[in-house]
Structure 1
Amino acid sequence: MTPAITLAKQKKLDYKIHEYTHEATAESYGLEAAEKLGIPSMQVFKTLVVADDKDKLAVAILPVDQKLNLKKMAKAIGAKKANMADPILVEKTTGYVLGGVSPLGQKKRLTTVIDTSAQQQKTMYVSAGKRGLEIELPPAQLLATLSAKFADIVMD
């Protein structure tokens, strides 16, 4: 059981766990999840961690088949600039390994932005805290649980 699943249970979220065999050679963990679970890639979301111009970390949740627009993300978190955070710092701060970073149950609560496309989904899939494990839940529940906000954060 991961911290993400523990939190989902505690908060009594409407969630389902989906497990698949992760291939170490996969180029994209998120696209691999969509393919192995047989679901549209626009319903599977990746969790990325960025650092703003003051080295404050924030979480971006976006479809696995999209790229993060760092300018839009910076604007969404009220910063001048944003860059991808240092991987070692990401693992230390979230408590998860890269490729298995869940937005749920992180060691430290970070400002979180969910791409607006999630609002069009009945349910969305995010990492459940390790490679090969996804948690499916309604976007509104993820938003409320994380005190997140919706914003357009993907490349045009």
Structure 2
Amino acid sequence: MAKRSDASAGTPATVALAAAGVPYVPRAYEHDPRAAAFGLEAAEKLGVEPERVFKTLLASVDGGLVVGIVPVAEQLDLKALAQAVGGKRAEMADPALAERKTGYVVGGISPIGQKTALPTVLDETAILFETILVSGGRRGFDLELAPDELLRVTSGRYAPIARSR
């Protein structure tokens, strides 16, 4: 996969990937502000199966923020996320806090290039795919990259943190 630069798509995520030498493909689409599920919208508009498109969610685990990355058609299993980072209790983070700590807006939070480096866990189903898509740092912009490269650039780990709706 070739690394492409897209000047119009420069985000902290693309800057971080370029600095780390991580190959990625920028994938932009026309975001509909009325869309209720940003990840499912991305899968549909980019013509990618939803299992390969992952959403970035922030949770508070024992008082500290943790990033959980799961397929867009699934839910984050908060108990499994807490276990994955050695915690006991997890709850979804306040959206305003998530925006402050990451530097991104809800619906466009990328796991890459966040203002504050946070523990990151990627659902283990990502290993089934050569590449996955995650938010590129704004609504209507995703990044396609290898899951191992995503974990390398975020210092993350795999764990079974998704559950069916």
TM-score range, shorter chain: over 0.9
Q: After the TM superposition, which residues 64-103 of structure 1 pair with which residues of structure 2 at under 5 Å, given as runs?
A: 64-103=72-111
**Deviation string, structure 1 residues 80-129 (Cα, Å, up to 9, x no partner):** 11000011100000000000000000000000000000011100100000
Q: Which residue does the alignment assign to 2:15? A: 6
1:12 Cα offset (Å):
1.4
Q: After the TM superposition, which residues 1-156 of structure 1 pair with which residues of structure 2 at under 5 Å, given as runs?
A: 1-53=10-62, 55-155=63-163
SS in 2 for 1:51: strand
SS in 1 for 2:108: coil
Counterpart-to-counterpart distance in 2, 1:154 and 1:128: 21
1:132 Cα offset (Å):
0.1
Unmatched segments (≥5 aa) in structure 1 = none
Counterpart-to-counterpart distance in 2, 1:151 and 1:113: 6
Tell me the TM-score normalized by structure 1: 0.98
SS in 1 for 2:163: coil
Counterpart-to-counterpart distance in 2, 1:109 and 1:117: 23
Counterpart-to-counterpart distance in 2, 1:130 and 1:71: 28
Counterpart-to-counterpart distance in 2, 1:32 and 1:18: 13
Large movers: runs of 4+ above 3 Å: none
1:45 Cα offset (Å):
0.3
**Deviation string, structure 1 residues 19-77 (Cα, Å, up to 9, x no partner):** 00000110100000000000000000000000012x10000001000011111111011
Counterpart-to-counterpart distance in 1, 2:135 and 2:86: 26
SS in 2 for 1:155: strand
Counterpart-to-counterpart distance in 1, 2:102 and 2:70: 17
Letter in 2 for 1:143: L
